[in-house]
Each structure stands twice: as structure tokens, then as C-alpha cells.
């Protein structure tokens, strides 16, 4: 993956954090900076750590998967992207949760980062063999998720529910993931 791919991947992964942060801002409707920073940190941390876990679990088997690794990466990205698109087009379900609660924040951080686990698997299947190779993408994923979480919360407080309906961040994130998957597939098939 090149620099642009890594940044686009980070943006796509951050869309769930962005959406949940908007909802949190809408619900709390106050500038609670300690809570805002804690949510953003947790979202960024888990978004960065889940790909690391997926990569570590898969990295040892990547040589055996070399002939089909691009198909695996494409399949995972297409699946996650398709899931995000489907969820963005479905009916909105409001869930009752308290974003001020640390346990709720931890659960939200884990739930929004589960998809990133598969990204770590795709990293192992696309040639990332050393921890030094994956450190930069993990940093960018965590940073972008942190920043999108901050922005989402602030926008949620400022503009309320109407922004989430108009923006459809999961749709954009899903499209980006599928596009990266297609690029990986095409690149490996024609090189």
C-alpha cells in the first residue's frame, strides 16, 4: 500500500468512530473536554491495536497464503465495505447508551474497531512482514480515528442529528474500503 492508500484506509476505518462520536455529542450536548479526549483516545487506540492483533495472528502463515493473499485481502475489504454500505442504507436505530460512562466508551471503542482486526489480516497478506513496516500504518489509523472522533463529537454537539443523516459516513467508508480492495486485487493480478 502506498501513502494515499494508508490514509484512505485510515479515513475509512475512522468513519464508525466519527458516527458514534456524533451520536455521543448529540446525546450529551455539552463540551465536556475530559470525556471528549477520553473517547477520542480510546477510539484511536483500539483502531490502531486491532490491526496489530490481526497482523500478529496472521503474519506467521502469510508465506503459505502467498498465492491467494490478494484474494483474501480483497474479500475482507469488500466484506467490511459492503457491510458498512448496507448498514448506512438501512433504517436508523437509536440505541440508548450513556457516552459519559467509561465502560460504555470502552465497549464502543471495541465495537467500532472490530472491522480493523480484518485490516490487520489483510496487512499480513499484502506483504507487511516486520513490525517496523506496520508501525506507520497503525500510527496513521490511530491518529485519524482520534481526530475524526474529536471532530464527530464537536459536530454532534454543534449541529445535532441532521448532520448524521446528511453525511452518511458509513457509506463513504464502505466505498473507500471496497475501492482499496479492488486496487489490491488488480495490482496483484497484473504484476
Residue 164, CB half-sphere, CA atoms under 13 Å: how many?
26
Three cell numbers at 52? 496489530
Instruction: Give the domain extent around 140.
Output: 3-90+97-189
Residue 175, CB half-sphere, CA atoms under 13 Å: how many?
7
Average pLDDT over residues 89-111: 75
Question: Residue 181 and residue 147: Cα distance in Å, rounded?
Answer: 24
Of how many residues is the chain composed?
191
pLDDT at 60: 67
pLDDT at 94: 42
pLDDT at 121: 86
Mean pLDDT rounded to a whole number for the chain: 83
- Whether 20 has a pLDDT exceeding 60, the answer reads yes
CA angle 153, 110, 101 (to 5 degrees): 55
CA 131 to centroid of chain Cα atoms: 20
pLDDT tens digits, 127-138 = 888 999 999 999
Question: Residue 19 and residue 36: Cα distance in Å, rounded?
Answer: 14
Total domains, the chain: 1
Instruction: Please state the pTM of the whole predicted model.
Output: 0.75
Amino acid at each position: 500500500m502506498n501513502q494515499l492508500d494508508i490514509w484512505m484506509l485510515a479515513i475509512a476505518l475512522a468513519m464508525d468512530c466519527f458516527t458514534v462520536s456524533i451520536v455521543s455529542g448529540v446525546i450529551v450536548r455539552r463540551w465536556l473536554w475530559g470525556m471528549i479526549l477520553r473517547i477520542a483516545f480510546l477510539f484511536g487506540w483500539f483502531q490502531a491495536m486491532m490491526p496489530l492483533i490481526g497482523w500478529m495472528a496472521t503474519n506467521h502463515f502469510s508465506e503459505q497464503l502467498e498465492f491467494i493473499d490478494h484474494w483474501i485481502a480483497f474479500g475482507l475489504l469488500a466484506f467490511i465495505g459492503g457491510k458498512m454500505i448496507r448498514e448506512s442504507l438501512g433504517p436508523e436505530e437509536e440505541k440508548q447508551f450513556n457516552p459519559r460512562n467509561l465502560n460504555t466508551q470502552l465497549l464502543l471503542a471495541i465495537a467500532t474497531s472490530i472491522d480493523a482486526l480484518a485490516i490487520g489480516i489483510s496487512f499480513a497478506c499484502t506483504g507487511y512482514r516486520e513490525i517496523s513496516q506496520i508501525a506507520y500504518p497503525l500510527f496513521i489509523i490511530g491518529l485519524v480515528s482520534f481526530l475524526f472522533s474529536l471532530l464527530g463529537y464537536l459536530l454532534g454537539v454543534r449541529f445535532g442529528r441532521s448532520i448524521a443523516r446528511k453525511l452518511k459516513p458509513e457509506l463513504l467508508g464502505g466505498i473507500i474500503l471496497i475501492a482499496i480492495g479492488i486496487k489490491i486485487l488488480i495490482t496483484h493480478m497484473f504484476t
